[in-house]
Amino acid sequence: MEAEQTRLQDYFEEINDQELRGWLTYLHCQAELFSKRELEVLRQLGFGDNGGVVLDLGCGPGVFTRKLAEAVPGNKVLGADANPEFVNLFRKSLETSPVASIEVCEWLVGTAECPPLIAENQPSDVLARLVLQHVREPEEFLQMLKESFKPGTRLFIIEEDDGLYLNEPKFTGLERVLGIYQKWADEVGSTRQVGRNLPRLAAKVGLKLKSLDIICHTSTNLGLRNLLEYYRTSVADMPPDVYTAEEAADIAQSLADYADNYEKTAFVFYPQVFCVLEV
């Protein structure tokens, strides 16, 4: 595993596009910080129990998908993403560091037919991790998923909910980060609180609600500096029209100052909504 990570890091270092490398840094930080707990919960909820085919929808460049494949041995793991750059990057990374159980394709749900890779390998379980917050019309997106998969397919959805964040002592820097998140969501017409709306959205499109749980990641478990570094990389990766370079630098400094002043006493609560739906 260590040798594989080294090969991937060497490959990513060769990427010249600064914005793309920024995304990779952010997604790598996100996966390293949260994936262990996320995968534990997914397995507890039964993801991959059928031992057939599973789909990571919105897989990006595959950072989390690789970890998913390790967590569900005996399954064929498909990855699909709407961003052709991410799909191409994922494919090239698989050439550098192959994973026999993984295949990947491009798919913009709702604007194109289900790709042959997915149509010919119908998954029993579909994961949409932190995807709906980037979707302009989540209800239509869920409707498209319902129409794309056979009855009995389970949809495992992981989302954040900024309304449930908590930090003590109060930290204006974190509030600024969440404000930028919401501004970005507004720009694409999405919402950062879609997780709490999933039961209502599922009922409207005729998906069966199997379970809804909230889990928390905390600075106590993850380490305050690690959690704040995640926030820093997420802000650093935002489109430049969302904030100025000076604002980004100021936020980064405020995160560092908070860690210096409160590393042993602060508490930050990062919530995620886990929802299981069935077609």
Beta strands in the chain (DSSP E): 53-57, 76-81, 102-106, 125-129, 154-160, 166-168, 208-218, 267-278
pLDDT of res. 170: 84
Instruction: Tell me, yes or no, whether 6 lies in a domain.
Output: yes
pTM of the model: 0.90
Instruction: Tell me, yes or no, whether 211 lies in a domain.
Output: yes
Instruction: Tell me, yes or no, whether 212 lies in a domain.
Output: yes
Instruction: Tell me, yes or no, whether 180 lies in a domain.
Output: no
Instruction: Tell me, yes or no, whether 111 lies in a domain.
Output: yes
Residues near 263 by beta carbon (within 8 Å), at least 6 away in sequence: 224, 225
Instruction: Tell me, yes or no, whether 26 lies in a domain.
Output: yes
pLDDT, one tens digit for every residue, the chain (279 residues) = 444 444 445 545 555 566 677 778 888 899 999 999 999 999 999 999 988 999 999 999 999 999 999 999 999 999 999 999 999 999 999 998 899 999 999 998 877 678 999 999 999 999 999 999 888 889 999 999 999 999 999 999 999 888 888 888 988 878 888 887 887 778 777 788 888 899 999 999 999 999 999 999 999 999 999 999 888 888 776 666 666 778 878 888 998 999 999 988 989 998 999 999 999
Contact 272, 158 (CB under 8 A): yes
Beta bridge pairs of residue 125:
54, 154
Instruction: Tell me, yes or no, whether 143 lies in a domain.
Output: yes
Residues of the domain holding 145? 2-162+190-218+270-278
Domain at 152, CATH number: 3.40.50.150
Instruction: Tell me, yes or no, whether 185 lies in a domain.
Output: no
46: alpha, beta or left? (left if phi > 0; alpha if psi -120 to 50): left
What total number of domains does the chain contain? 1
